[in-house]
Amino acid sequence: MNANYCPLDYTMNLIGTKWKPIVLFHLLEGAERSGVLQKKVPGISNKMFTQTVRELEKDGLISRKIYPVVPPKVEYALTARGKSLEAILKSLDQWGIEDKKAF
Amino acid sequence: MNANYCPLDYTMNLIGTKWKPIVLFHLLEGAERSGVLQKKVPGISNKMFTQTVRELEKDGLISRKIYPVVPPKVEYALTARGKSLEAILKSLDQWGIEDKKAF
DNA sequence: CGGCATCCAGGTTGATACTG
DNA sequence: CAGTATCAACCTGGATGCCG
Rounded Cα–Cα distance for residues B14 and B56 (Å): 8
Mutate to test the interface with A, among B1, B2, B9 (most CBs of A within 10 A): B9
The chain B residue lying nearest A84, using CA atoms, is B95
| pLDDT tens profile A79-97 | 999 999 999 999 999 999 9
User: Is the Cβ–Cβ distance between A33 and A77 less than 8 Å?
Assistant: no
CB contact under 8 A, A89 and B41: no
Residue A2 pLDDT = 40
Task: Please state the pTM of the whole predicted model.
Answer: 0.91
Tell me the pLDDT tens digit for each residue of B22-63: 999 999 999 999 999 999 998 899 999 999 999 999 999 999
A54 CB inside 7 Å of strand C:
yes
Of B6, B60, B89, the CB nearest to A8: B89
What is the Cα–Cα distance from A70 to A103, expressed in whole angstroms? 50
Task: Indicate yes or no: strand D within 7 A of the C-beta of B101.
Answer: no
Q: Which nucleotides of C are covered by protein (CB under 7 A)?
A: 1-6, 13-17, 20
Amino acid at A40: K
User: CB-CB: which of B3, B7, B40 is closest to A4?
Assistant: B40
Q: What pLDDT shows up at residue A64?
A: 95
Say yes or no: A68 contacts chain B, CB-CB below 8 A: no
Quote the percentage of chain B above a pLDDT of 70. Answer: 96
Which secondary structure element, helix H or strand E, spans residue B75, and what is its range? strand B73-78
Rounded Cα gap, residues B25 and A7, in angstroms: 11
Residue B2 main-chain phi, psi, to 5 deg: -100, 90
Whether residue B103 and residue A97 make contact (CB cut-off 8 A), yes or no, is no
Q: Which domains does chain A have, with CATH numbers?
A: 7-102 (1.10.10.10)
Chain D nucleotides covered by protein, CB below 7 Å:
1-6, 12-17, 20
Distances in whole angstroms, Cα of residue A44 to Cα of each of A7, A49, B22, B82: 29, 6, 27, 29
